[in-house]
Amino acid sequence: MSVFAVLDQAAVRFGDQGAVFHGQSCVSTWVQLRDRALRLAASLRLQGIPPGTRIAIASENRPEIVELFFAAWAAECAVVPINFKLHPREMQQILEDSGAAQVFASAKIGPELGAFTDVPIDIVGSAGYRDRFAAEPAAVPDTDPETLAWLFYTSGTTGRSKGAMLSHRNLMAMTVAHLADIDSPDDACSLIHGAPMSHGSGLYVLPYVLRGARQVVPGSGSFDTGEFLDLCDHHPGASAFLAPTMVQRLVEMGRPRPRNLRTIVYGGGPMYVESMKKALAAFGPVFAQIYGQGESPMTITGLRRADHEGADDAVLGSVGYARSGMQVAVLDDDGLPVPTGQVGEIACRGDAVMTGYWNNPAATAETLQGGWLRTGDVGSFDGRGFLTLRDRSKDVVISGGSNIYPREVEEALLEHPGVSEACVVGAPDAEWGEVVVAFVVAASGPAAPTPALADELDAHLLQRIARFKRPKRYEMIAELPKNSYGKVLKRELRSHLS
């Protein structure tokens, strides 16, 4: 079954009801959305793009992203959503690796990206984009469910981007699991896209479209606390997927709970127990949690709204139960399940798990072992079946819901002539979950940290990596602590953080 069927069924069931909104304004009904997607699909075929092609989207949140997803699937192509916060050079690397034949970009991103790639770029909303709708609608596809639908780029600890291949079957399993476990919207509900649609918020288009819930894109194209709460006041049955940082900002605003707020699904990073208690006190039992990865999109474990009511600290500090259709285990170094309460690597298997990494059989074999997805996360089950994350075997820093890979930042720092060695770690932060801290050994020897040097390194990094990946703090040290094999002892560096 093609995931385009989700929209096809919605158009039949919900017809002329509002489907996509920009702020408070309706831009298309379900019938219109289906027609626009099929016309866009036909325009791709007329362009000479065959089935199986990768179609990239590089844009801040826009209402057109919804029609672009379904247009790609109607053309039997795969979407490659790109984080709009990335540097154009990083976007180009994704385009090169995926072999994307077409990019749809916003007017803000397209010109900058064009300086780094030869892949054709169509500016969303431009005259050329509007001309595509002159094509006669394509036929509804009959796609093999094992066909690639979504290529989700997630870096490893080396910083090298890897494309997790998500099939139509994977996305349908995610969709059904969300409706079974987390939220059960109907056509009197709305999904507000405050978080990036290149990630979790975009994936959740599917379950909410299937139930006829409005797709609401903020006019700002991003997350603004006041705008988000206003949209929750305006649109019925308002739901959203948000990073913990976003939830904390809503709480800090001090505004009353919006009258139409229904569900906030949080995930993508750690939510501290005290922060969750404050959120519950401010907004009531509207929260649900998901734990997943790009390799098993939004679907490993979860906590329902009901699980948050009257919950103890152990429950609020956990990531919940195994999701419907998923088997979750905690394994030892030999791949065997550990007893309840003991710590090991978290693994999962089920129809939501990716088919592998794009053009990377070695990484696929390392991550998919014996039918299990080895997550690289460390945790334990309690006697009630709640899974708690204890640590990450990978050194990924999760800041504000975004993954930041230390080696990528370290390599960029080492390109500066004043840096001899560098090591990047994550430090706990009440607002962001974690922030990036860089320990730097100066090429000229020990030096005291100065604002001028920090500014110089910031400017250096801005030419190489995305702004959000830069360190929030620099620590100048005489040498990096290492073991006898020359490996940097990050645990010793973390012990210096306060």
- CATH fold label, 4-381: Rossmann fold (3.40.50)
- pLDDT tens digits, residue range 293-327? 999 999 999 999 999 998 898 999 999 999 999 99
| pLDDT surpassing 70 at residue 447 | no
Task: Write down the pLDDT at residue 57.
Answer: 98
pLDDT of 184 > 90? The answer is: yes
pLDDT in tens, 403-423: 787 877 887 898 898 888 889
- DSSP output for 32-68: HHHHHHHHHHHHHHHTT--TT-EEEEE-SS-THHHHH
Average pLDDT over residues 37-56: 98
What does pTM read for this prediction? 0.85
Whole-number pLDDT of residue 450? 59
Average pLDDT over the chain, rounded to an integer: 92
Mean pLDDT calculated for residue range 167-189: 98
Phi, psi of 456 (to 5 degrees): -65, -45
Report which of 203, 249, 267 is spatially closest to residue 398, judged by C-alpha positions.
267
**What's residue 443's pLDDT?**
83
Please give the DSSP secondary-structure letter assigned to residue 421. E
Q: Compute the chain's Rg from CA coordinates.
A: 23
Closest CA to 7 of 37, 45, 49: 37
Q: What topology is assigned to 397-494 in CATH?
A: GMP Synthetase; Chain A, domain 3 (3.30.300)
CB 205 within 8 A of CB 197: yes
Residue 345 has pLDDT above 70, yes or no: yes
pLDDT at 454: 79
With contact defined as beta carbons under 8 Å apart, do 407 and 158 qualify?
Answer: yes
Q: Where are the domains of the chain?
A: 4-381, 397-494
For residues 439 and 406, the answer to whether their CB atoms sit within 8 Å is no
Q: How many helices (H) and strands (E) does the chain have?
A: 18, 26
- The two structure tokens encoding residue 311: 């919950």
* pLDDT score of 88: 95
103-126 pLDDT, tens digit each? 999 999 999 999 999 999 999 999
DSSP-assigned states of every residue in 114-141: HTT--S-EEETTSHHHHHGGGSPPPPPP
User: Looking at 102-106, 118-122, 388-392, 488-492, which range is the least confident one?
Assistant: 388-392
pLDDT tens sequence across 196-231: 999 999 999 999 999 999 999 999 999 999 999 999
Percent of the chain residues past pLDDT 90, beyond the cut: 76
pLDDT at 158: 45
**pLDDT cut 70: percent of the chain above it:** 95
pLDDT number for residue 156: 46
- CB-facing half-sphere around the CA of 100: CA atoms within 13 A: 32
**In the predicted model, is pLDDT for residue 383 greater than 80?**
yes
pLDDT of residue 446: 54
Cβ atoms of residues 209 and 230 within 8 Å? no
Sheet strands (E) in 336-472? 344-350, 356-357, 368-369, 372-381, 387-392, 397-399, 402-404, 419-429, 433-442
